[in-house]
Each structure stands twice: as structure tokens, then as C-alpha cells.
Amino acid sequence: MEALTDIVLRSLWVSGSATLLSSLWSLPLAYAMAVSRRLGLLAPIMEALVGVPTVVVGLVMYMLLSRTGPLGFLNLLYTPYAIIVGEAVLITPVIVSTAYRVIRRSVETYGELARTLGAGPLQAAALVLSQSAPGLAASVVMGFSRAIGELGVAFMVGGNIAGYTRTLTTAIALGVAMGEYELAMQLGLVLIALTLAVSLAVRASKRLWE
Amino acid sequence: MRRALLAALTVAAAAAALVALVAGWQQEHVIRVRATTTTSLYATGLLEFLEEEFKRVRPGVEIDFITVGSGEALRRAAQGDACLVFVHAPSLELAYIRAGVLERGAIFAYNYFVIVGPSDDPAGVRAAASAAEAFRRIYEAGEAGLARFVSRGDNSGTHVRELSIWRAAGLDPRGRPWYVERGAGMAETLVTASEMQAYTLSDIGTYLKLKREGRLHDLEVLYTNSSELINIYSVYLVSSCAGEEREVAEEFMEFVVERQDLIAGYGADEYGQPLFYPARERLDELKRLWWSLAEG
Amino acid sequence: MMAMRLLALEDVWYSYDGKRWVLRSATLSVSGGEVVAVVGPNGAGKTTLLKIMGLLYRPQRGRVLVKGVDAWASRAAALRLRRSVVYVHERPIMVRGTVLDNVALGLRLRGLDGAEVRRRVSAVARALGIEGLLDRDARKLSAGQAQLVALARALAVEPDVLLLDEPFANLDEEGREVVADVIRGYSREGRAVVVVSHDRSVLARVATRWVRVRDGRVEAP
């Protein structure tokens, strides 16, 4: 199997990009749900979707990205970008539902404060989001942890190709499939250490911010 | 001050992520060939070994091996998501050839399936005269509560072959309490068989690899090397494959077929016996066996 | 000079849940130079009334006129007119950052330049006696200090109508005196202040008119 550092860096890159990409739509959606009563009705649905098995999301993404699927023309299947897109979709419910809870509380206070001072909708949104930054960081980290720890999407649309789309989790699964349990165990420990490190780093920066 | 530091850090992190993303896109142009393959074949390392040798004569290409069971390997090809398929399930292969999914193919290697089980062999498989008889003995011992059998249960080539042997023996073990459908790859199935002191059908490569690593306690080859247990590996070009990917795929297929000398020696140093035999010397006989497996 | 009618509620009905009316046919108008004291039992709808005057809540029925314009006729109107009516919460809300950041918040939202922001911040800070607090962390203030900061934040944007919800609640006698002076001074500039408070003695010092909210209606006391 290829060098561990390559796999680790690829996993960080893929899951990190997926998290950024997902945040691009998840945070605005969470904000829209927090300010609009009608969109707020999505909250229980999002919460329910958090529990969808990753392999189901992976299968759906595969059917979409397959050569014969509706998005086949993008030629994304079996590339790291397919995993990025798939994981971004996968972690949307996690980020949206946790961020929604944070923002809702913030909208009631800072949103109203902004309106008393004559803020427009965008200015109010900016104030609310900046005031809830630590909570939002935590929800983005939850998204990242789910992305880097998931197997279904990476396996189905990435293909676990050595040196190209092999991530920590698919390498672990391959290790198990090949009976190389020690290797799988080591990779598992690296994965835990990584998610722990990211979460601690965010906590530390949160303290700095407060 | 702290705020400024934090803002700077955030910007730096975002910039780094962006650069990484862009750098990822701008990787130098290599031709990638998508190849689905069975786990048992990939796990031996043979395919990556052949790819390395191929890249010496044909730089600038990558063969992307997607490792799944034979059933899924073919299904993905049918979806247009593979250019080459490396499989060992003649009956499935024939179905996909007839459906027009697979275009051209070649038998490039073979070896034998092995029936493995606990060394005390409660079913008496060692004394069997044929694979079907061995399975019949396991069935009887199973019904008597003396033995268990672990099946892959995943529509892989090995699984398909196992089912065809049960059919040849005129038996249907599915649903019997001693018949365990594992739904997993070969290595996991072997480990399960070892843990349960059960019988199973395995390809020789995965068995030798795990045995050598000390993963399989008290699990031995009890029956093998008859033509009914022959395991035939074929490579196919997928009809939907096109462009430069197709050109390279054709070259790689040709390389694999031409350079069977590489296959003959593979694994002999490591495992004390070769894992595969080149198909070339017995091609006519293998073709005949392939057809009987495919239609039987 | 005739005092200008700055803010008016006409037959306003409001309900939070669509079942129980908190305000029922509330009518009230406020003119420049007035300090209107609003009293009434707890839960009578005083805060709701102020928030509707501050264009934070949109009434289900009735009209809210700001300087004669129907504020909810369009979204754009509400947005524009909200800048001339500022509501100050009973419990001050402080954003992350210094006291200066908080006082300057409304000014920065209006895109004023740095020099103007500094000028106005120091003027209101002087008036309220909080110059010494400007560099402090706004989240580490006492309740009374925070109340003064919130008032300063509202004064800085110089609204036509200032809506104060219990502005004396957390203050000592000296603080109450300062706030009362500021309220009187502000109304003399031709603007209006509406004050909700339970503290009748200090209200008596500033009020030019009294109204009572009872059962969702605005009445003369």
C-alpha cells in the first residue's frame, strides 16, 4: 500500500474541501431556515437526514455521476472531486441542522438588535453570523469529522484507487478486506488522532476568539 | 491584536485550501484507465505489479483499479464506469458478453480454488473423490451438527463457483443453520471460517497470503487441483470505452496477454509456490473449461 | 412651530400565535418634543407596543405611520423608516468586542466614515458619562453599564423617535439622573422619546404625557 502520509494528506484535502464546499450552501441555508418560518419547517427533515447511511448517499451519488447517469458528462466518477462533491452533499444535513440551532438563537438576539439599528437583511445576516462564529465553527467541524470518517461515498464514487482516490477510510476497509488488520488498526488510530486534533484546534481558536 | 491574528490565520487557511484545490486540478495530464477487478485478484498484488511493468514501456498512464466483487465489477462496466474488467466468473461474464457490455476478452491466467477447513476434517473432505463429493460430505456433516460452511454470499466469482458446485452435488444448503452467508470479501470470509472452525471455498492466492501472515489458525487446504476447481481469470474490454482511454486499455490488455512470463513467476519467492499459472500453454483446454463453466 | 407628528399607530392588532390578541385596536401618536411615558401592568403588551413602534414586528391589522408614511406598505419602506425609529431592549444585547464597537455599531451599519463615527461616539459617551468604558470588553460590563452603552448606541444614530424599554431598571440614582437628563435634552431637539418603565418617580421627571396599556389597548391614564 502507498505511503501513509500521502493517504493522510489526501484525506485531509478531500474532506477539508468537501467541508468548505458544503459550508458554502449549508450555512446560508441554515440562516435562511432560521429567519424564515416556512423554511424553518425543513429543520426536522434535515435532522432526520443526518442519519442516512453513507453508503446510500454513495450509491445515489454513484448513480448520478456514472457515465450513463444524468451527471456522467462531468467525468467526475473515480476522481477525488467526486468524493469532494459526494461528501459535501453527505454532510449538508449535519452542518445545516447544527448551524440552524446556533443561528436561531442568535437571530432572536443579534438579528433583532441589528434591525433596531436599521440594518438591512444582509447586514443583519452578517452580524448574526459573525456573532455566532464559534458555534458555527463547531458545526463545520462536525461536518468535517463526518466527512473524513465516512466510507460509503469515498468507496462508491472514489473507487479506492491507489495513489489517487484512496482515503483513510477506504484504505482501512481494504486493509480489512485483505486481512491486514494491523495496518487497518494503525490507519484507524491515525484517523482518530486527526479528528481529535482538528476539534481541539478549533476549540483553542474559539477560546482565542472569546 | 488577537482578533487580527485570528483573521490572518483564517485567511491563510482558506488560501491554502484554495491553492491545494487548484493545484489538484492542474495535475499533469495522465491518461487514466478505469479497471474494475475482483478483490481476490487485487489483494495478491498481481495487477499492480503488471501495471508497474506496463508503465515502464508506456509512461504517462495510470490504471485505476477499482476493487469490488466480480458481480459488481461487471455491473459497473455495464453502467459505463469501467474500461477494463478483470474477473473470474465465467457464467456472469457470458451474460454480460451476450448483453453487449463486454467486447473482447482473453483468458490470461488460471489457478485452482481450494476447499479449506479445520485440520481434523470432521466431514472427511480429504477422502473425497471430487469437489461435488467433498461438498456432499460437508452437507451431511453439517446436518449432523459436526461441521459448518462459510459462504462469501456476495455474488463474487468465488461465490458463483461455490453455488455451481452445490448444484453439481444436487444440494441446496441455503437456509440451513450450519451454512453461513458472510457477505464479505475472501480474506474476511477465510478469517471467519478460521474463527468458526468451518469449511469454505477460497482462491489459492488469498489463502496462501493469509496463511503466511498467521491469520488462519488450523485452517488447511483439504481438497484442490482438479479441473473442476479450476479458476480462470479473464480480462475484457468494455464496449462503451472510447478515446485515448480505450487505446491505452487495449495496449494494457495486450501487454497482460503477451507478458504471461511475468505472471508465471509472480509470488513464487514469497509464498513458495506460484499464485497463478499463465494461460498460454493450456489455452484451448481453458477455453473449453470456461465454456462449460459459463453454460453449466 | 407646530410639532410634527413623527409616529402613529392606527387601530393596531397584534398576535404572536394567531390565537390571542396581545394588542387590540391600539392607537397612539407621538409628536416631536414629546416624552411619552407608557405604564401598565405586567403582560399588558407594553414591550410589544414598543417593538411595533420600532418596526420590529409587523401588526396583523392596522397601520404604523412614520412621519406620515405607511411603514409596512412595502418592505423597502419598512427598511428605510426603521432607521428613524430605534428601540432599546430592556436587557441590553452586547456584541463581541469593545464598548466602542458596540456604540459605533449603528453608525457603521450606516456606512459613516471613521471620523464621523469617532465624533458621534465621543459625544454620546460624554453625555452618558461612559468615556472611560470605551476600550472595555462589552461582555464584561455590569448590567447598569451595559444599559448605558445600549442607550448610547441608540442615541448615536440620532433617530427621530427613541423607544426605551425600562431604561432605568439597573441604574443607581446617579445613573437615573443622567439618563433622565439625556431623555429631556433629546426631546428638546424636536425629537420624540417613548419610555416604558415601572419607576414612576423618575418617569414623572421626564414625561410630557402619560398613557396606560391595558388589555391590549392604549388609554389615557
Q: What is the CATH number of the domain that holds A45?
A: 1.10.3720.10
Chain position carrying cell 402619560: C210
Query: Distance between CA B153 and CA B163 in Å, rounded?
Result: 9
Does the structure show a pLDDT above 70 at B200?
yes
Chains A & C: contacts with CB separation below 8 Å: 45
Q: What pLDDT is attached to residue A82?
A: 95
- Give the residue, B11 or A137, on which the prediction is more confident: A137
Query: Distance between CA A162 and CA A7 in Å, rounded?
Result: 9
Segment B33-62 mean pLDDT: 91
Residue B209 sits at the chain A interface (C-beta within 8 Å) = yes
Q: C138 near C130, Cβ under 8 Å?
A: no
Does the structure show a pLDDT above 70 at B27?
no
Residues of A in contact with C48 (CB under 8 A): none
pLDDT band at B251 (very low <50, low <70, confident <90, very high): very high
Delineate the domains of chain C, giving CATH numbers in brackets: 5-219 (3.40.50.300)
Q: pLDDT, tens digit, for every residue of B88-128?
A: 999 999 999 999 999 989 999 999 999 999 999 999 999 99
CB contact (8 A) between residue A123 and residue C109: yes
| B143 CB neighbour count, 10 Å cutoff | 13
Half-sphere exposure of residue B118: CA atoms within 13 angstroms, side-chain side: 18
Chain position carrying cell 407628528: C5
Q: How far is A6 from chain C (nearest CA, A)?
A: 41
Among candidate residues C59, C85, C88, C87, the one with its CA nearest the CA of residue C72: C59
Going across the sheet that includes C69-70, the strands are: C23-31, C5-14, C61-66, C69-70
Query: Distance between CA B28 and CA B47 in Å, rounded?
Result: 24
CB contact (8 A) between residue A118 and residue C96: no
CB contact (8 A) between residue A208 and residue B6: yes
Q: Are strands B179-181 and C23-31 parallel, antiparallel or unpaired?
A: unpaired
What does the block give as the cell for C142?
455590569
Using beta carbons and an 8 Å cutoff, which residues of A are at the interface with C? Answer: 109-110, 112-120, 123, 127, 130-131, 209-210
- CA of C156: which chain A residue's CA is closest? A117
Chain position carrying cell 435532522: A47
**Which residue type sits at A32?**
A
Query: Distance between CA B156 and CA B150 in Å, rounded?
Result: 14
Segment B184-209 mean pLDDT: 91
Check the CA dihedral C103-C208-C91-C148 and report its sign: positive
Q: pLDDT, tens digit, for every residue of C54-74?
A: 999 999 999 999 999 999 998
Instruction: Give ipTM to 2 decimals.
Output: 0.91
Q: What pLDDT is attached to residue A129?
A: 93
Q: Which domain holds residue A187?
A: 4-209
Pick the CATH number of B112-228 from 3.40.50.800, 3.40.190.10, 3.40.50.300, 3.40.50.1260: 3.40.190.10
Segment A103-119 mean pLDDT: 94
Specify the number of domains making up chain A: 1
Q: What pLDDT is attached to residue B14?
A: 66
On average, the pLDDT of chain C sits at 93
Q: What pLDDT is attached to residue B16?
A: 66
Q: pLDDT, tens digit, for every residue of A122-135?
A: 999 999 999 999 89
Of A16, A165, A179, the CB nearest to B17: A16
Residue B213 sits at the chain A interface (C-beta within 8 Å) = yes
Class (C level, CATH) for B31-110+230-295: alpha beta
CB contact (8 A) between residue C153 and residue A117: yes
pLDDT band at A176 (very low <50, low <70, confident <90, very high): confident
Q: A179 near A133, Cβ under 8 Å?
A: no
Residue B48 sits at the chain A interface (C-beta within 8 Å) = yes
Q: What pLDDT is attached to residue C221?
A: 77
Q: What pLDDT is attached to residue B20?
A: 63
Residues of A in contact with C54 (CB under 8 A): 116
Q: What pLDDT is attached to residue B8?
A: 59
What does the block give as the cell for A116?
433596531
CB contact (8 A) between residue A112 and residue C56: yes
Q: pLDDT, tens digit, for every residue of A3-40?
A: 889 999 999 999 999 999 999 999 999 999 999 989 99
Q: What pLDDT is attached to residue C66?
A: 94
On average, the pLDDT of chain B sits at 89
C63: three-class secondary structure by DSSP: strand
Does the structure show a pLDDT above 50 at B259?
yes
Residue B50 sits at the chain A interface (C-beta within 8 Å) = no
Does the structure show a pLDDT above 80 at B23?
no
User: Which residues fall within 8 angstroms of residue A96, CB to CB, at 6 or more apart?
Assistant: A26, A29, A30, A33, A42, A46
What does the block give as the cell for C196?
416604558
Q: How far is B81 from chain A (nearest CA, A)?
A: 6
Q: C13 near C24, Cβ under 8 Å?
A: yes
Q: What angle do CA C89, C94, C98 make, to 5 degrees?
A: 145
Q: Where are the domains of chain B?
A: 31-110+230-295, 112-228
Segment A190-202 mean pLDDT: 92
Q: B238 near B77, Cβ under 8 Å?
A: yes
Residues of B in contact with A178 (CB under 8 A): 39, 43, 185, 187, 209
Q: What pLDDT is attached to residue B18?
A: 63
CB contact (8 A) between residue A117 and residue C157: yes
- Give the residue, B6 or A119, on which the prediction is more confident: A119
Q: What angle do CA B211, B213, B219 make, to 5 degrees?
A: 25
Q: How far is B64 from chain A (nearest CA, A)?
A: 6
Secondary structure (DSSP) of chain A: ---HHHHHHHHHHHHHHHHHHHHHHHHHHHHHHHH-HHHHTTHHHHHHHTTS-HHHHHHHHHHHHSTTSTTGGG--TTSHHHHHHHHHHHHHHHHHHHHHHHHHHHIIIIIHHHHHTT--HHHHHHHHHHHTHHHHHHHHHHHHHHHHH--HHIIIII---TTTT--HHHHHHHHHHTT-HHHHHHHHHHHHHHHHHHHHHHHHHHHHH-
Residues 67-106, chain B: which have Cβ within 8 Å of A?
A: 67, 79-81
Residue C110 φ/ψ region, left for φ over 0, alpha for ψ in the -120 to 50 degree band, beta for the rest: alpha
On average, the pLDDT of chain A sits at 92
Residue from B1, B5, B21, B101 to probe the interface with A (highest A Cβ count within 10 Å): B21
Residues 27-66, chain C: which have Cβ within 8 Å of A?
A: 54-56
Q: What are phi and psi of B201, to 5 degrees?
A: -105, 130
Q: What pLDDT is attached to residue C140?
A: 93
**Which residue type sits at C135?**
D
Q: What pLDDT is attached to residue C27?
A: 94
pLDDT band at C168 (very low <50, low <70, confident <90, very high): very high
pLDDT above 70 coverage of chain B, percent:
91
Residue A163 sits at the chain B interface (C-beta within 8 Å) = yes
Q: pLDDT, tens digit, for every residue of C135-154?
A: 999 999 999 999 999 999 99
Q: What angle do CA B92, B94, B96 make, to 5 degrees?
A: 75
Whether B31-110+230-295 and B112-228 share one fold: the answer is yes
Does the structure show a pLDDT above 80 at A179?
no
Query: Distance between CA B225 and CA B279 in Å, rounded?
Result: 16
Which stretches within chain C are classed as H helix? 46-53, 75-81, 99-109, 114-128, 143-156, 173-188, 200-206
Q: A199 near A141, Cβ under 8 Å?
A: yes
Query: Distance between CA B235 and CA A169 in Å, rounded?
Result: 29
| B222 CB neighbour count, 10 Å cutoff | 21
Least confident range from A157-161, B50-54, C11-15, C93-97: namely A157-161
Q: What angle do CA A188, A191, A197 make, to 5 degrees?
A: 145
Among candidate residues C116, C10, C13, the one with its CA nearest the CA of residue C58: C13
Does the structure show a pLDDT above 70 at B2?
no
pLDDT above 70 coverage of chain A, percent:
98
Residues of C in contact with A132 (CB under 8 A): none
Residue B200 sits at the chain A interface (C-beta within 8 Å) = no
Q: C87 near C193, Cβ under 8 Å?
A: no
Residue A5 sits at the chain B interface (C-beta within 8 Å) = no
Q: C191 near C32, Cβ under 8 Å?
A: yes
Segment C160-188 mean pLDDT: 94
Residue B52 sits at the chain A interface (C-beta within 8 Å) = no
